[in-house]
Chain A
């Protein structure tokens, strides 16, 4: 039985939802319908859309926005925040170690082969020092709640996590639609995220640079997250650049402006490692900057997130994160991992093969839903097909129990009904580590569905962290 964020199992409203529930009960349903329509036009006018792959150019869709907020009580957030900071601190320490002394490998905590025989380990980063020893400046950690309400980390997104613009726009929409709600419930603000991000990026400028020039590097208007790139650049007041706007000369990165070349010190890139420099990685990349890696390795420019962070959020590293926290911080992890079977281990493999119909099996180098088996939902044939794939190369897979994700009342065709949720808070690491109270709550709009991805019918909600 999945936990409902708003109601106890006996149907009474949980204390932190009480103020909202009273307001909701007093709200005529017709008025709510009007508000939903208003929200729709708000988002459309603001151009908060995402491009859909495979459809004609110009096709843009809204991500459905749900009016019922996901509310997190103060104490719970304090605890979550502590866990998130701990986790991201440890992962940054892990990256620093992996790309330098590799003590964790020598200590035998993680098999060396696990790290080095992984495309996400970037030899180019070996022995390169990065400012503040920070690699994952922006982390979008995916959390879910299961069963009795315990939180689990599902994924540490340390490469180019997206979605923060929805967090900000959702809040803005809620405040415009229901100003009276915010007067009654003390919701912690999230609007200062762009300021924190800018501070974070400034703090990791190359040594000696006093007033760094920061740019946001986007793959361009055809990228599905382009709206977010433009939004963040505008909110931070930094230039939104494409690869062709930058060039490298004498280990320095410049942008081409109408007033001539202007030096760039920090690049907040929203392009994958593989595409940022055609001379270093994929030669067919049209999105990158030739020679950027050499400037970066020489320490003349900083890149956020650093090149090579993928080794820390890879599914093959994930099962080791609790050990990573213990190793670097000497602390017990605050946040739990989802119990994970590492199929390269014979015992785990045997268990998984015997319980495929209960497990979620994921490919370690896969991303977002591809190469994945959801046991309870798969047909016999699909399970058998997957069994063959696993046995031919078990080291490519991990398996996890299917979690009963928590749910929250959500507006659907038939009215309010519980739908499953996850939560992605954004953790910023620079000279210090900060996060705004909240995050992006994604909701699976189809009944029973556990898939919250916007490309597969997911929606979003405003996320409230209560101040008292």
Chain B
């Protein structure tokens, strides 16, 4: 599926910021299942780029002239497809076991532990993972604003409410309690109603038997698919979040973000459907080649 993405973030400050540094994870990952046709990152200041430990492309932005706002925009076109094996880091340097360790954002309490143990299985597979995701979603309503970015899995679970970040953290925590590696995925989602959602978070669960990551969108109770464009993965939100910054001065900050994801007129594949996968791949590759030759 061809996704057209436009993501704009504006930070505004009460007072002048003298110096700020932003860490951006705003470039789709290079991995099976998605191909970046074009991508442009617009941001003020000087920047450098580097691949981080999790294989995400990171831009470090340095602004040392006084400023009262920062505008960051990412625009581009990405072709996505459903693939059986979306396991880049099985090949890369990091062991999946790195994602089996509790972090502070994925920390648990007794109540979350009890819940997770109700879904403990000897061997994680797609069915079991979806069952767990469904149970988490049943236990946690999707309520924007119910939690803050720094809230832990245990806290959000206790509230019984949260956003995609919280669903992902709780799912990750439940997997890790059973020593199953799970990681946080940040990215974009093409929603049913074309013009909302967009910036999204879901999880990858490690299926040891099959030696692959399985992407699960807990919030939407679906497997990761062609509607999902992956920006970054990590142990939790902090590793993978699109923008992380520090600044000197500036007073209070307000943030406004707008994301728009839309699809080409290509036929939309039903969620989880893989029957027409090959055709799609071929079609996508054909169109992309055609486009490239036109350029």
Contacts and interface: CB of A to CB of B under 8 A. Distances in A.
Do they bind each other?
yes
Given A249-B62, A291-B21, A116 B46 contact: no
13 contacts: A116-B95, A116-B100, A123-B54, A124-B52, A125-B53, A248-B62, A249-B62, A250-B48, A251-B50, A279-B23, A279-B60, A283-B246, A294-B58
Contact of B48 (A102, A113, A116, A294): A294
Interface in B91-106: 93-95, 97-98, 100-101, 103
B98 A123 contact: yes
A278 B246 contact: yes
Contacts of B93: 126-127
Interface in B162-212: 179
Interface in A238-274: 247-251
Given A117-B97, A126-B53, A294-B48, A248 B21 contact: yes
A279 B179 CA distance: 28
A279 B21 contact: yes
Contact of A279 (B46, B48, B103, B244): B244
A117 B101 contact: yes
A351 B230 CA distance: 49
Contacts of B52: 124
Q: Number of contact residues on B: which range applies?
A: 20 to 34
A148 B30 CA distance: 62
Interface centre among B53, B94, B235 (most CB of A within 10 A): B53
Interface in B75-101: 93-95, 97-98, 100-101
Given A247-B19, A250-B46, A279-B60, 15 more contacts: A116-B98, A117-B179, A119-B101, A123-B98, A126-B53, A126-B93, A247-B64, A248-B21, A248-B62, A250-B48, A250-B62, A251-B50, A279-B246, A290-B246, A294-B50
A118 interface: yes
B222 interface: no
Prevailing SS type, chain A contact patch: loop
Interface in A89-119: 102, 112-113, 116-119
A112 B94 CA distance: 12
Interface centre among B64, B93, B235, B238 (most CB of A within 10 A): B93
Interface string A298-329: 10000000000000000000000000000000
A121 interface: yes
B253 to A, nearest CB: 14
A297 B50 contact: yes
Nearest to A114: B97
Nearest to B104: A282
Nearest to A285: B246
Contacts of B23: 279, 290-291
Contact of A123 (B21, B53, B62): B53
B97 A116 contact: yes
A118 B102 CA distance: 9
Nearest to B89: A123
B98 A121 contact: yes
B97 A291 contact: no
B90 to A, nearest CB: 14
A281 B62 CA distance: 18
B125 to A, nearest CB: 20
- List 9 A-B pairs, minimum CB-CB distance, nearest first: A116-B97, A123-B53, A290-B21, A279-B23, A126-B93, A124-B53, A290-B246, A127-B93, A117-B101
B98 A298 contact: no
A123 B238 CA distance: 14
Interface of A: 102, 112-113, 116-119, 121-127, 247-251, 278-279, 283, 290-291, 294, 297-298
Given A112-B95, A117-B101, A249 B46 contact: yes
Nearest to B47: A250
A113 B58 CA distance: 28
Contacts of A121: 98
Given A124-B53, A126-B93, A247-B19, A294 B101 contact: no
B246 to A, nearest CB: 5
Nearest to B100: A117
Contacts of B60: 248, 279, 291, 294
A126 B50 CA distance: 14
Interface in B22-80: 23, 46, 48, 50, 52-54, 58, 60, 62, 64
Contacts of B58: 294
A113 B97 CA distance: 6
A107 to B, nearest CB: 15
A283 B246 CA distance: 8
Contacts of B54: 123
Contact of B94 (A117, A126, A297): A126
B47 to A, nearest CB: 9
Nearest to B101: A117
B89 to A, nearest CB: 10
A251 B21 CA distance: 12
Interface centre among A102, A247, A291 (most CB of B within 10 A): A291
Contacts of A278: 246
Contacts of A119: 101, 103
Contacts of B21: 247-248, 279, 290-291
Interface centre among B21, B46, B52, B235 (most CB of A within 10 A): B21
Interface in B205-238: 235, 238
A264 to B, nearest CB: 16
B23 to A, nearest CB: 4
Contacts of B50: 251, 294, 297-298
Nearest to A281: B238
A378 to B, nearest CB: 26
Contacts of B238: 283
Contacts of A298: 50
A118 B48 contact: no
A283 B48 contact: no
A119 B103 CA distance: 8
Contacts of B64: 247, 249
Contacts of A247: 19, 21, 62, 64
Interface centre among A119, A122, A294 (most CB of B within 10 A): A294
A112 B246 contact: no
Interface centre among A278, A283, A290, A298 (most CB of B within 10 A): A290
A123 B94 contact: yes
A294 B56 CA distance: 13
A180 B48 CA distance: 61
A286 to B, nearest CB: 9
B266 to A, nearest CB: 37
A178 to B, nearest CB: 52
Interface in B4-22: 19, 21
Contacts of A297: 50
A248 to B, nearest CB: 7
Contact of A118 (B19, B101, B244, B245): B101
